[in-house]
């Protein structure tokens, strides 16, 4: 059953009484809700069972036949028109379990190794961005994004950054983000518990585990709240 606790809602299985994580469940009053990896009820864009859905921030219900955050969700709730952003995200999803972190190999995954900005360069190019002049770093990636339909929606160290599906985030202040001082990722969700995916060092170089999808707020706090830039597509429905 759905239960309110600590300012949010959770679902506890009526048979086992255990908290339910990462699942879409029907409540005791008949409505269906999405619960995230920490059990909390979810809002915003959510990737689940191979598709992307949107859950209203007020009612928590799935949005059908409606526009949210510049994206359209169809009769079954699935994202219809997230073309470019979905292709960027899919570059990472298709390589989960296959990439080992390294800043000294191809950087793009071509040799089975990659780093964050090399991965993002290739993900954007594969999605339809212009041919890259170089394999970009967290210093030079800014201009590539601006030249390919993105604009800056947030810059700073505060928690005011509100992510939307497909946003590209860069950590590390310009002129000080090279190497391990910077990072870049793409938002796979939005709302009250946004998720991001990237090629990262969270598993400390363990073979095949560089691509990780994690909660953004946790990740940002775990990395001591770095200076962040959030870039968003001007046309969220870009094909």
Closest CA to 71 of 161, 154, 166, 160: 166
- Could you give phi then psi for residue 130, rounded to 5 degrees? -65, 160
**Residue indicated by tokens 């985030």:** 169
Summarize pLDDT for 30-86 with one digit per residue, the tens.
999 999 989 999 999 999 999 999 999 999 999 999 999 999 999 999 999 889 999
Question: Are the C-beta atoms of residues 167 and 187 closer than 8 Å to each other?
Answer: yes
pLDDT confidence of residue 160: 67
Distance CA 42, CA 3 (A): 14
Distance CA 43, CA 26 (A): 16
Question: Are the C-beta atoms of residues 228 and 167 closer than 8 Å to each other?
Answer: no
Burial 181-211 (b: 16+ CB within 10 A, else e): ebbbbbbbbbbbbbbbbbbbbbeeeeeebbb
Residues facing 232 on adjacent strands: 151
Strand 211-215 relative to strand 228-233, pairing: unpaired
Question: Are the C-beta atoms of residues 117 and 141 closer than 8 Å to each other?
Answer: yes
The tokens describing 162, both together, are: 């509100």
Distance CA 192, CA 55 (A): 10
The tokens describing 12, both together, are: 């506890």
Closest CA to 170 of 223, 106, 133, 91: 223
Q: Which helix (H) or strand (E) holds 102?
A: none
Question: Are the C-beta atoms of residues 36 and 54 closer than 8 Å to each other?
Answer: no
Low-confidence ranges of the chain (pLDDT < 70): 160
HSE on the CB side for 150, CA within 13 Å? Answer: 28
Tell me the domains of the chain and their CATH numbers: 2-73 (2.10.270.10), 83-233 (3.90.1720)
Distance CA 165, CA 193 (A): 12
């Amino acid at each position: 059953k759905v239960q309110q606790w600590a300012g949010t809602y959770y679902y506890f299985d009526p048979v086992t009484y255990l908290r339910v994580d990462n699942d879409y469940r029907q409540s005791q009053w008949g409505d269906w809700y999405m619960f995230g990896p920490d059990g909390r009820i979810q809002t915003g864009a959510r990737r689940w069972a191979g598709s992307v859905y949107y859950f209203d921030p007020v009612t928590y219900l799935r949005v059908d036949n409606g526009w949210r955050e510049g994206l359209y969700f169809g009769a079954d709730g699935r994202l219809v028109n997230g073309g470019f952003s979905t292709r960027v995200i899919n570059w990472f999803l298709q390589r989960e379990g296959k990439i080992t972190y390294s800043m000294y190999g191809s950087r793009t995954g071509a040799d089975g190794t990659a780093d964050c900005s090399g991965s993002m360069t290739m993900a954007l190019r594969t999605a339809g961005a212009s041919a890259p002049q170089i394999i970009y770093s967290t210093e030079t990636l800014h201009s590539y994004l601006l030249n390919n339909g993105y604009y800056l929606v947030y810059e700073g160290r505060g928690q005011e950054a509100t992510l939307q599906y497909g946003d590209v985030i860069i950590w590390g202040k310009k002129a000080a983000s090279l190497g391990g001082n910077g990072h870049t990722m793409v938002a796979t969700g939005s709302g009250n518990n946004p998720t991001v995916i990237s090629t990262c060092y969270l598993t400390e170089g363990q073979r095949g585990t560089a691509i990780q999808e994690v909660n953004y707020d946790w990740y940002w706090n775990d990395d001591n709240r770095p200076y962040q830039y959030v870039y968003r597509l001007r046309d969220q429905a870009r094909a």
